[in-house]
Structure 1
């Protein structure tokens, strides 16, 4: 029952994340700065998390903060800031559909890093482990297809923009590589995050510290990158909606949920929900943004999803083996003689 609740929460968060990609593209197309968007979003999320911490920890004790924990949170924050910057710039160069397609690489990246960091075990003699390895390779091949091969446009709107297709092709490839890099670093973030939360099991405090550090780092980057003071002025339109949505749902809530899920289920479990967003992203991008839908995106996304489900199937097989082993061990260790004696006495 509790496991189902975690799954429902994770699916909801991923749907909100896809919505963020769509409205972010709308705001960036309107001229909003990538760097300032990240800065404002994290700044607002800090206030939201601060209020949440004051309420939640008013009558609860929290684990003590040590210099080692703060240093590890700072490392997570640096990774998170880089991920947010690369993701926003990548969406600006490509599309929300591309972002959701490339996010399907996250389970594969997380699986590989989890093995390297010994959060996961790999036994190539087992069927589940072989499926996870094959699924990882297939996912990477699909991501390369999405990035390098656009193919023919298959939506009506795209047929009217053949010159634009040639003009933005290089940006599309650059956006794809930026997004792939972002999701690799996000996988690394999940690994480090799990390492931290096991020693400091206070999700809201962790999220508050992380967002505070990201705000400081992103502000420094924005001040260096944006020379025009007018770029810091907000318009009360889609820009403000995008920042509020990003701060509350995509950063504050998503960060807290991911930290919590990493502690409950591990980094690979958190990463495996990303591929669910590709269908939602395609529909929202074509419907609300007028994005061009290309054959390469569909083919690559389908291959990525196949690889993803191979990884998930392999993980399910490994969990089943572990569960069967635990049941077998319990049955062997349970005392049976007294039960037989009791039955004999009753007769």
Structure 2
């Protein structure tokens, strides 16, 4: 029983989160390939989340029969609607940023999520800061270093380091005629996305405390996102041809993003947030840098720049500094709790404890 509990609480969350980071980078690369072929990212968000909502359609009925759950009140639905608004905004900003830059830049700036999570946790009084404490100083300095690295990645490209002479997917030719790559705009949009992601974590964690069923919550979340994104797409995409899906990489990207992103990834994140909390989920973001660099260079022909490499390294150092401070703080709290628990037993006289045992 202890081995199974350990696997469920520690091994399984770690394995699934690593897998999700690999899948996310692959989905970002596939999305970049689809948009370079003319796919509208506004329409892409609508279709991807609609696919996930259709797949999860039986979830509310199955969940109600299989377990006892509180009623889906107006307050819970309103919070899920707010979650959908945050999610749709972050997705549109993120896909627009990737379209202007690259999946490599998206993975680098995604390392800001732990720093922004720490800042929002302080604002919402979920995190305590004591300036004299080494753990608090580590978290503060790590946050500052991470933000500095993100600005470096965004504003400075530097000389190219490496690029394949013939990429596996020759997708960069349409780029010059459709949209010019703009590193700064893409970086700012991606930064805005990863400010919203920690807010999504916090709201999602609160929802899971009130309604602990991942599939039902993610179904309504995907439904709300597809509706909100659909309204935005109707305004931004006046051309009806943008809504047509051809049997090519665009359709493959929509299906994969709907099944493995909007459905599987969001469900796993909701489960991990419910089980381990937002800090655990955020700590896996640096893993995506190496994967994104390899995929972007091999399949999209992206150039690896010195600014991306140095900035991503700085972000990772800042991130792990924050994580070290967090771990140090938790160790101190555990020691303090154990000390408080053991103190009364040490001070009770032996004769008094013998009398209590007799009673």
Secondary structure of 1:154's match?
strand
Change (3 A) 1:171 1:320: same
The size of the alignment, in residue pairs, is: 339
Give the CA deviation at 1:228: 1.1
Equivalent-residue separation in structure 1 for 2:203 and 2:212 (angstroms): 14
1:162-213 CA-partner distances (Å, limit 9, x unpaired) = xx99xx9871110000000010011111122222222222222111111111
Q: Does 1:273 align with 2:280?
A: no
Q: Does 1:49 align with 2:82?
A: no
Equivalent-residue separation in structure 2 for 1:296 and 1:227 (angstroms): 38
2:32 to 22, 25, 30: 25
The 5 A counterparts of 1:33-72 are 33-72=40-79
1:317 to 319, 328, 338: 328
Q: Does 1:304 align with 2:311?
A: no
Give the CA deviation at 1:265: 2.4
1:13 to 17, 20, 26: 20
What is the alpha-carbon root mean square deviation over aligned residues?
2.5
The 5 A counterparts of 1:193-212 are 193-212=204-223
Change (3 A) 1:72 1:56: closer
1:230-261 CA-partner distances (Å, limit 9, x unpaired) = 11111112111111111111111221222222
1:284-340 CA-partner distances (Å, limit 9, x unpaired) = 11011111110100000000000011011111101111111222223234588789x
Q: Does 1:122 align with 2:129?
A: yes
1:97 to 93, 96, 104: 104
Equivalent-residue separation in structure 2 for 1:338 and 1:321 (angstroms): 30
1:188 to 189, 194, 199: 199
Q: Does 1:179 align with 2:190?
A: yes
1:3 to 10, 20, 25: 10
1:218 to 205, 226, 229: 229
Q: Which has the higher mean CA deviation after the structures are superposed, 123-132 or 89-98? A: 123-132
Equivalent-residue separation in structure 1 for 2:131 and 2:281 (angstroms): 23
Q: Does 1:239 align with 2:247?
A: no
Corresponding residue of 1:345: none
Give the CA deviation at 1:89: 0.6
8 A contact 1:76–1:210 mirrored in 2: yes
Stretches of structure 2 lacking an aligned partner (at least 5 in a row): 1-7, 167-171, 355-359
8 A contact 2:163–2:304 mirrored in 1: no
Equivalent-residue separation in structure 2 for 1:217 and 1:290 (angstroms): 34
Q: TM-score, normalised by structure 1?
A: 0.91
1:133 to 133, 140, 143: 140
8 A contact 2:269–2:281 mirrored in 1: yes
